[in-house]
Amino acid sequence: MIVGVGIDVVDVERFRVSLERSPGLVDRLFTPREAVRPLASLAARFAAKEALAKALGAPVGMHWHDAEIVSEESGRPLLEIRGSVLAQATDLGVASVHVSLSHDAGIASAVVVLES
Per-residue pLDDT of the chain (116 residues; tens, 9 = 90+): 999 999 999 999 999 999 999 989 999 999 999 999 999 999 999 999 999 999 999 877 889 999 999 999 999 999 999 999 999 999 999 999 999 999 999 999 999 999 99
Q: Work out how many domains the chain is built from and give that number.
A: 1
| Range(s) of the domain holding residue 90 | 2-115
pLDDT at 61: 82
Which CATH number characterizes residue 32's domain? 3.90.470.20
pTM of the model: 0.94
Q: Which long-range contacts (CB under 8 A, 24 or more apart) does 70-76 make?
A: 70/33
pLDDT at 11: 98
pLDDT at 62: 87
**C-alpha dist (Å) from residue 88 to 1, 21, 61, 67, 110:** 17, 32, 10, 12, 20
- Strand runs (DSSP E) across 12-116, as ranges? 67-71, 77-81, 96-104, 107-115
